[in-house]
Structure 1
């Protein structure tokens, strides 16, 4: 796994709006970390510390410059990560990829066009959102609807649901700072209606062009930012007419911009990236 002769593991620590990553270059064909190693790397006390691990690997599509996979801090895998995609793009540019005219990278489930907007800002085409329950997956509901209702501990929880390459439930709240993130997040993730668990977003619409968001991510817990979660919250609110098709989503770690020109169009997510440090892990 990109280890020098002394056995230490080389990595790059990055973050996108506070959502932090350990990036590993595995383009030589080295296998990705197993669940145990991923959890050790992600541990904030005895490891490097991160929300997710990103492995950069050889491209699957001949038109792409590389592919990436996403590993949560508990060692489980994820199908997508919007902040991670931008960080991968920034890492590849630093490694020598020419950003002029944009380029393409492969996520676990799709290929994505990337554009560099500034020295540390990137835009990623995140694909077309999928609302059908079987695509999320969300069981117990035969057809897509604007709002779903599930009973949880004696109360009815209302939410929108969408797949951004990973499953999301979106709850609109009146005051984001008082949102029951730590209580309802785990309950929804453990509910039988979400057989692959779910990322749970709590969104407060401030005006048609701006919303605030907190996300309880599967396999991680609450993070400072979630790029796919920002896309999910935005499109659910856009479908309801609560947000414009071009909106800023403010998360605890910073602002992301989400553009969704039409229902059948790809979502464009843009925001910052940052290199924190490069290192070698001795664990």
Structure 2
């Protein structure tokens, strides 16, 4: 039984991991007390100059529902808790297996709104059933009132009024992979205004819980390059749910065919999606790396 500790000078053990360059601090909340940690303290832990440094912090906890093996919680670098992280889910299963917390493979892990199935493969890659994409606006959430729209094959693109670099509309496909995404196609990814336009899209009033802004360049029907400005983290080297959202949007626009190799700045992911059958969206399957960097102990002040 854990003894409650003060937040002043609390020492915690951690593992630093990454999935295609998207880096994480992974904490075992089963074998150590992680209660009563504030948003400011999470933010300090993720700070790259004054803390351990990470895009997100991942918590391994006991399951709260009978159909799951573990509970998985995610905190962004700004200290706010979010619903889902695809690259983090691969690191989660690698951590659980490597630390002997379970011998099950695959694992079923509960996140904010669903249960994910995670499978560690013999080649070192991790395959994740990310669940079905969500298109219903109230569940994303997304408010399209007053926005112009165009139809492109099966996808409705919405015009987001933006100020950068001058008043213009950015046409995006909108969906959720457990967290909200606004995806647009660009001709040249390197010159895309990710760092300038991304923060404005993230905070756009059409998204009451903010949004991840994705920019994809189509290489061919089975290959894209992708950059994502993540909600609460800024641009990251990779975004697993962003890769899933981009591929789903591209397939619905008849620009891509499953499976799709997604090149991010931190590495490659493979995304497979079989579309919608009988008005039911099929789950998205993501495969990619999960790597342990180092382990350590730090103090939360």
Instruction: Please report the TM-score for the alignment, with normalisation by the length of structure 1.
Output: 0.94
Per-residue deviation, residues 160-214 of structure 1 (Å, max 9, x unmatched): 0100110000010001111110111011112111111100000001001100000
Deviates more, 1:209-218 or 1:33-42: 33-42
Contact 2:181 2:242 in 1 (8 A): yes
Select which of 282, 288, 291 maps to 1:274: 291
Offset at residue 110 of structure 1 (A): 0.9
Runs of 5+ unmatched residues, structure 1: none
Offset at residue 116 of structure 1 (A): 1.4
Offset at residue 261 of structure 1 (A): 1.6
Match of 1:191 in 2: 204
Match of 1:136 in 2: 140
Deviates more, 1:268-277 or 1:150-159: 150-159
CA spacing shift, 1:56–1:158, aligned 2, 3 Å: same
Offset at residue 3 of structure 1 (A): 9.7
Match of 1:18 in 2: 21
Offset at residue 103 of structure 1 (A): 2.1
Match of 2:30 in 1: 27
Offset at residue 67 of structure 1 (A): 0.9
Matched, 1:180 2:183: no
Counting only pairs closer than 5 Å after superposition, residues 1-283 of structure 1 correspond to structure 2 as: 7-28=10-31, 30-31=34-35, 33-96=37-100, 97-100=102-105, 102-118=106-122, 120-141=124-145, 146-153=156-163, 154-263=167-276, 264-283=281-300
Offset at residue 282 of structure 1 (A): 2.7
CA RMSD of aligned residues (A): 2.2
Contact 2:60 2:71 in 1 (8 A): yes
What is the rounded CA distance, in whole Å, between the counterparts of 1:3 and 1:278 in structure 2?
A: 23
**3-state SS of 2:156 partner:** coil
What is the rounded CA distance, in whole Å, between the counterparts of 1:243 and 1:2 in structure 2?
A: 53
What is the rounded CA distance, in whole Å, between the counterparts of 1:145 and 1:125 in structure 2?
A: 23
**3-state SS of 1:178 partner:** coil
Deviates more, 1:73-82 or 1:147-156: 147-156
What is the rounded CA distance, in whole Å, between the counterparts of 2:73 and 2:112 in structure 1?
A: 6
Runs of 5+ unmatched residues, structure 2: none
Per-residue deviation, residues 18-55 of structure 1 (Å, max 9, x unmatched): 00000111125642632011111001111000000001
